[in-house]
Structure 1
């Protein structure tokens, strides 16, 4: 008992979380980063926070739903996948967060994403809580019929736990408009209800304009605001971007619209360096239409270089935008960026920068914005889609884009006094 009293409240909760979730490294990492950043605040009034068990309530999901998804492939073989929905916190509104379909998905990853979603959603200023879900199903290489079969089987279990005022899932890695359409169709079939229970829907059945672009555009709106606050601009700057999915593509598009020159992108097998600047329309054709590897980009751009593996952060740039996946930018990468003169790193993915890399960047005076702020654009427009569904309205692209820009600007303005808060790690 005496030893317990000597341990600080933050350390006590970190020990508790680690002991209760020993096989969940991503979740433990996210919790550690958040609680360490909160330590100075907690220690000012530790007794009160401990009495209310505030940190225990913050780090423990309201519920964790684990279920099996059985579906039949085109060969008639039954396949089985693990699936999850973690409803983390609905203190300010219905649970809100995407569904990730990728073979790397585990409960640890879903919990870390759901935990981060609480803060990201709150930063938008909109009344939405935090949650996340997904499955280790891999959409790559699957036919439309196989993806439909999986999505219908997935929703057959999930529909019991969601609703327009309860929990509103959305897209994420591997879950685009096609998958959302299949999921939504099954939800309507099972419930008989037409409601805004999913976001990222097609425009013909309640989707919002600018949702596809939202996360990437929002990242650049905040990045632009960050640079302006420090007397700088994206105009004429060289930008490195990782990823070639939805976030990366539209981050590249908006960066180029704002005058930057984006020279890299990447996928799970390799990366492109294009000294002439990434051709966004070609990238969209390769990744959104053909859904093939970046080697196809290289074939159409003779001056571009294709490299297997990773290496985006070795390219000299002024601004770096990690838009791929968690822990993709490590300490060695950070050192390369600094030695090449980078002035700002803004996260487009969830927790893409390791804690060691983040600390190093800040120590070196690099402007840094964590993903909970800089990639909040996607969920912000998802919440706007919910509003349109509830009001039976459909706003123009320009209306939604302006609201998105206002939200991202406000996130920066409200949390940048002294510059330190927005730059501190999660």
Structure 2
């Protein structure tokens, strides 16, 4: 049995109740076989893979808070600090009922390689809670966030671990947590990113993941003799990533015709009205079906089905494993030629393999959605220097980072004789930097 297989077996045995984490490890290690086989003796001697798949530390803690009826509620909080070989731990906080140890570990593991791909000095981490901010008042969200950070503050810092937002954690939640961190520690530092513009936030951070997704997609098409202009795009989700991916796609001359949420999805053949969606989601905190109040000619469908629409490009921006094998078959049958992941691991392994085998250009999330964390790192830089860059400055840096990411992963795929396999290329490009740093720093 080879080294890769041994480590995968070890992960499966030790983490049998965490399917998402196992899936992420398998996907990465399988694609790294060419690199690992070429360096097996060194990596095995140093137990490099065993150290890579085991987090440096994992925190789990209770989060008690008082609701508007005066009742005490108790949620669970998590933070995984996975690997800091190339910089402080960096990764978002997710507030969602689905959050448990396996989700946090899968996201933290993926974050190692995503952060490495940006070319910036940030390591991999992730965190969150099973708290659901939907339907909660601002006061309840504040109470929860203050209790959450009262425990988490002990383990984070501007040069230690810098959390950001993720699903369920936007500017409101970051603000409440930052205020509590500052109150407890007395420190005004760049410990959280995604902050408001009046207290250390970065312009273009809100748009960054969605914009970055389109910058990488555009470059991928250019390098494959195609153009995003005039293409029909299907997008899932209706949160931050989906909204700004839609906005940037329209700016680049494409037409986005779908968005979705956990209840259902909309189809607007004339092109999604971004202003309407922003009002629904960012102002009213409503559901995507409310879109019909703005565009009555659009169609709303309960449940799943967003990938059944005929499109040229598909951008899954909702959640993990949302695009399965049947969806992939529908996309191929309808002529879709490019898929780029705006969410973390939104495509199942079987669907990814099917898309690749059928000639669909496929950009994995750790590369395609790295714009958010890249701009978070730019926010950290501005905080450290006590500077504030213009929107245009940040956006230009973001675009260059995403273009560089694509070329780095494409070059890695070429070097290991799998041209066009951007999943393998992204994993190799991200891994090589981390592995070199781990080896140089000795056993820790």
Distance in 1 separating the partners of 2:86 and 2:64: 34
Contact map agreement 2:361 2:420 (CA 8 A) in 1: no
1:320 partnered with 2:314: yes
Contact map agreement 2:62 2:74 (CA 8 A) in 1: yes
1:253 partnered with 2:237: no
1:119 partnered with 2:113: yes
Match of 1:378 among 372, 381, 387: 372
Q: In structure 2, list runs of 5 or more residues that go unmatched.
A: 428-444
Structure 1, residues 257-310: CA drift from partner, whole Å, max 9, x if none? 000010000000000000110000000011111111112101221110000001
Structure 1, residues 119-155: CA drift from partner, whole Å, max 9, x if none? 0000000000000000000000000000000000000
2:348 corresponds to which residue? 354
2:130 corresponds to which residue? 136
Contact map agreement 2:362 2:423 (CA 8 A) in 1: yes
Distance in 1 separating the partners of 2:365 and 2:69: 41
2:358 corresponds to which residue? 364
1:187 partnered with 2:173: no
Distance in 1 separating the partners of 2:199 and 2:39: 49
2:159 corresponds to which residue? 165
Match of 2:142 among 142, 148, 172: 148
Instruction: Give the total of aligned pairs.
Output: 420
What secondary structure does 2:125 align onto? strand
TM, length-normalised to structure 2: 0.94
What secondary structure does 2:314 align onto? strand
Deviation at 1:420, TM superposition (A): 2.9
Structure 1, residues 372-395: CA drift from partner, whole Å, max 9, x if none? 000000000000000000000000
Deviation at 1:166, TM superposition (A): 0.2
For residues 235-246 of structure 1, the aligned pairs below 5 Å read 235-246=229-240
1:3 corresponds to which residue? none
Contact map agreement 1:275 1:303 (CA 8 A) in 2: no
1:420 corresponds to which residue? 420
2:72 corresponds to which residue? 78
1:396 partnered with 2:390: yes
Structure 1, residues 60-103: CA drift from partner, whole Å, max 9, x if none? 00000000000000000000001100000000100000000001
Distance in 2 separating the partners of 1:173 and 1:218: 17
Contact map agreement 1:331 1:356 (CA 8 A) in 2: yes
For residues 3-402 of structure 1, the aligned pairs below 5 Å read 7-402=1-396
Quick one: structure 1 residues 423 and 62, their matched pair in 2 at CA, closer, same or farther if it must change by over 3 Å? closer
Distance in 2 separating the partners of 1:71 and 1:332: 42
Q: In structure 1, list runs of 5 or more residues that go unmatched.
A: 1-6
Distance in 1 separating the partners of 2:73 and 2:26: 36
What secondary structure does 1:379 align onto? helix
Contact map agreement 1:316 1:340 (CA 8 A) in 2: yes
What secondary structure does 1:212 align onto? coil
Distance in 2 separating the partners of 1:47 and 1:393: 46
Structure 1, residues 205-255: CA drift from partner, whole Å, max 9, x if none? 000000000000000000000011111111110000000000000000000
Structure 1, residues 325-371: CA drift from partner, whole Å, max 9, x if none? 00000000000000000110000000000010011111001100000
What secondary structure does 2:265 align onto? strand
What secondary structure does 2:77 align onto? strand
What secondary structure does 1:256 align onto? helix
Deviation at 1:40, TM superposition (A): 2.2
Contact map agreement 1:367 1:423 (CA 8 A) in 2: no
Distance in 1 separating the partners of 2:44 and 2:27: 19
Distance in 2 separating the partners of 1:423 and 1:175: 28
Distance in 2 separating the partners of 1:299 and 1:180: 31
2:433 corresponds to which residue? none
Contact map agreement 2:31 2:423 (CA 8 A) in 1: no
